[in-house]
Amino acid sequence: MPMPARSRQRRSAERAASASPFAPTATLILTAAGAAAAVALAPAEGRRWVLGTVVVAWVCIAVVVGRASALLRRANRRAAAQGGELETARSAWQHQVAETSRLVDVILPDVTRQVRGGGDAKQVLSAVALPSDPHLQQLLRMVAGELSASVERAREAEAGLEGVRERLERGTAELRRLTEETLPAAVALLREGGSADTVFARFDWPQDALLRSAAERLIRELAYSERRSAAAQATSAKALSRVQAKTVSMLADLREMQERHGEEVFGDLLRLDHSTSQLGLMTDRLALLMDGRSSRVWNKPIVMESILRGAVGRIDAYRRVRLHSSSRAAISGFAAEGVMHLLAELMDNAANFSPPVDEVHVYVEERSAGLVVTIEDSGLKMSDAAMRRAVESVSGRVTDLASLQGTRVGLSVVGRLAVKYGISVSYRPSSRGGTGVVVLIPPQLIAQRHEPVTAERPRQAASAPRTPADRPRAVRSAPAAPLSTAATTPTSTAATTPTSTAATTPTSTSSESAGRGGATPNGLPIRSPGRAMAEAERIRHKPAAQKPADPGESGPARDAGTRFGAFHLGRRRAGGAPPDEDARSTAPEA
Amino acid sequence: MIRKPVDLGDPDRLYMVTGGRSETDSSLDLVTLIVSECEPTTGMQSEHVRILELCRHPTAVVEIAAELRLPITVVRILLDDLCALGKVSARHPRAAASVAGLPETALLQEVLHGLRNL
């Protein structure tokens, strides 16, 4: 703290200045008095010497005192001048301090506020009372300038930031819309077969170039891969349909060869037949997966026995499958192939996953909910996971080809068929120790059983001499009503028909239809497809056959001509009958 | 209506009818007469049922084959099965001739003549 030191200095200087005017004079008087006393006291003989000495001493003292007082006065004057200077400096300093504090406390905040508020630095400075000190003024200008510049920069940066944020938000919104709406819809459209250009035209794509090009590239790639998979699928389906057609014609050829050739090649032909049937199953399986069609379409109801045999005949281990069916139901033609394929896949599965020595048992029950086919193997119990996978597969919920695993495609095919025909397939543990599959065929797939044509055709076929051209039609209708053939009398039909109410219908219609076509229980006439043709055939053959219209007699007691016709035809169909044997057998009669 | 020939077949394959067998060592001749010994029962193979129905009156093997539209070999295998179960019996044609009540020779000659003209 310099202040107290300065005040003390000042006080001592004032005291010195106030004491100085009297002290020299008093000293001179006192010394003169002392000298006079000394001269007066001095002995007379030394008075002169003393006087001389005293005068000299006093003069010396006077000179010293005079000189000292002069020096003192000068010193006092200088001190006074320095004190004045000090005062000036102090006031200047205080002024400076005041200005500085005003600058710091008032001007700078004011200037800062105004500059921040958007004022120009020069205008703000001109409006403010500037400090008088040029340095402070310069400082203020500099600060104001820098402040204004930095405020400007901050404003610019803020604007830039705002722009960036806006762009970012727009980009985010576009990205979100692209991800959540556009891309899924576009992918769905592509899956349905839309081209990439259609997709680009239909949807609203992002403005952002980068995002847009990414989406475009993705869509093009996706469209390409969709096109590729669709082309692959279509090509395979087409190729497979040719294989299917070939297989079917091979089967027909084989059947024809089995008719024509004798016993020596029969076994080989059967083996070939079996292999070809298996080939047909594999081809159908692939074709279904490729969205192709079944190899065959039956245009007549197929009885359950034929359905089961048709299914079993397509699998490798057909000898291990035991069929337990007494059902007379028939599956409508449109669904027959599908049901056969489905059962074949399930039986194949059952046979493949059970020991090669164990049998697979197939049971058929007629229930009001439909036809229940149970396939039981005695293999190992399926694990829970495998069971879940199998249930998932046969549910048909997943039809994507990507879900296929390797060669195990059978159950996926079952799933597709089950969904297509509304068949329910469920798994349960078998009482035989293995796994049981319960297939419920809904009633709408089961054919109505009163079919006058099927009852009529075998009779007509039996009563008229057969010609090869007549054959296929009769073969077609034969399995549909195995019991109501020409040989059946009404009583035997009734005896062999199961007690189900639906099965009584063919009995009544077959006897009725012999004369004038069938009728519903309510009495309405029934005209089934091909009926008119059959009628015409029957009438055409009436003159040739002796007793064609009476079902009661035409069966067992057929006339000799009919019998001989059948005999001769049978021999011809046997193929192995050489002409000489023919001659030998007929010779006795001739 | 013209149908594709592929639709006219039958889902049954012959190896399913015979249970995979293709040979038989039976002594059944083409003209052996077969007579059923019992009525068909439910649960029988449909071919067996038809044979039993057909053979209520003595019928030749070759005639059964023609009725069933099956190759002779298959019919013989089926008949073997039925014979083994005792459901049908086989008779020699000569012995059965009187039973069957064959038509007159003149008619047969006429038929033969007609057949040869086919």
Residue A268 placed within a domain: no
Among the ranges given (A44-58, A142-156, A206-220, A563-577), the one the predictor scored with the smallest mean pLDDT:
A563-577
A407 & A496 share domain: no
Asked whether residue B62 is domain-assigned, the answer is yes
Of A445, A472, A498, the last residue of a domain is A445
Contact between residue B13 and residue A310 where contact means Cβ atoms under 8 Å apart: yes
Give all strands (DSSP E) within A434-520, no chain letters: 435-441
Tens digit of each residue's pLDDT (9 = 90 or more) over A97-118: 988 888 888 888 888 888 888 7
The single residue listed with the structure tokens 């293995």 is: A434
Residue B49 lies in a domain: yes
Q: Which domain holds residue A76?
A: 2-116
- SS3 for A183-230 is HHHHHHHHHCCCCHHHHHHHCCCCCCHHHHHHHHHHHHHHHHHHHHHH
Question: Does the pLDDT at position A252 exceed 50?
Answer: yes
Longest dimension (CA), chain B: 48
Q: What is the mean pLDDT of the segment spanning A417-422?
A: 92
Give the domain-ending residue among A445, A472, A493.
A445
Which of A279, A281, A309 should be substituted to probe chain B, the one whose Cβ sees the most B Cβ atoms within 10 Å? A309
Query: What tokens does B31 get?
Result: 């003209």
**Six token digits for residue A313:** 């005949």
Q: Which residue in A442, A462, A444, A460 sits closest to A452, CA to CA? A: A460
Comparing A189 with A564, the larger pLDDT belongs to A189
Cα–Cα dist A261/A266, whole Å:
7
Please tell me the distance in Å from A425's CA to the nearest CA on chain B: 23
Nearest by Cα to A534 from A519, A514, A520, A554: A514
Number of domains in chain B: 1
Structure tokens, A27: 């000293």
Same domain, residue pair A385 and A502? no
A33: its two tokens: 């008095």
Predicted local distance difference test score (pLDDT) of residue A513: 40
In angstroms, the CA B44 to CA B78 distance is 12
Please report where in the chains the tokens 């009372």 appear, as a residue. A129
Does the ipTM exceed 0.85? no
**Secondary structure element (H or E) that encloses residue A361, with its range:** strand A360-367
Mutating which of A281, A299, A483, A563 best tests the B interface, going by the most B Cβ atoms within 10 A?
A: A563
Q: Which of A255, A495, A571 sits opposite B39 (nearest CB)?
A: A495
Taking an 8 Å cut-off on Cβ atoms, the answer to whether A570 and B15 are in contact is no
Give residue-wise pLDDT tens across range B10-57. 788 888 888 888 887 777 888 888 888 888 888 788 889 989 998 998
Please state, in angstroms and rounded to a whole number, the distance separating the CA atoms of residues A482 and A268: 29
Q: Is residue B78 part of a domain?
A: yes
Asked if the structure places residue A121 within a domain, the reply is no
Q: Which of B17, B54, B102 sits opposite A487 (nearest CB)?
A: B54
Q: How many domains would you assign to chain A?
A: 3
Note whether A324 and A403 are same-domain residues: yes
- Distance in Å, alpha carbon of B108 to nearest chain A alpha carbon: 7
- Would A385 be classed as within a structural domain? yes
Structural element, H or E, at residue A82: helix A47-102
pLDDT of residue A522: 61
Q: Please indicate, yes or no, whether residues A388 and A520 belong to a single structural domain of this protein.
A: no
> Percent of chain A beyond pLDDT 90?
24
Residues A471 and A434 in one domain: no
CA A67 vs CA A19, A34, A81, A206: distances in Å:
16, 21, 21, 107
A419 and A456 in a single domain? The answer is no
Asked whether residue A204 is assigned to any structural domain, the reply reads: no
Name the H helices within A329-470.
333-352, 384-395, 410-421, 452-463
B5 domain-assigned: no
Closest of A572, A324, A548 to residue A457, by C-alpha: A548
Examine the fold and report which residue of A54, A81, A116 is the final residue of a domain before the chain moves on: A116
| Residue A183 · residue A159 · CB < 8 Å | no
Q: Report how far residue A433's alpha carbon sits from residue A378's, in angstroms, rounded to the nearest whole number.
A: 5
Q: What is the CATH number of the domain that holds A339?
A: 3.30.565.10
Domain that includes residue B109, residue range: 11-116
In a shared domain, residues A307 and A434: yes
**pLDDT value at position A204?**
82
Is residue A542 a contact partner of residue A464, using CB atoms and an 8 Å limit?
no
Q: Do A338 and A301 fall into the same domain?
A: yes
Measured between CA atoms, the residue of chain A closest to residue B57 is A556
Distance CA A5, CA A148 (A): 45
Find tokens 């083409």 and name the residue: B30
Max alpha carbon distance in chain A (Å)? Answer: 230
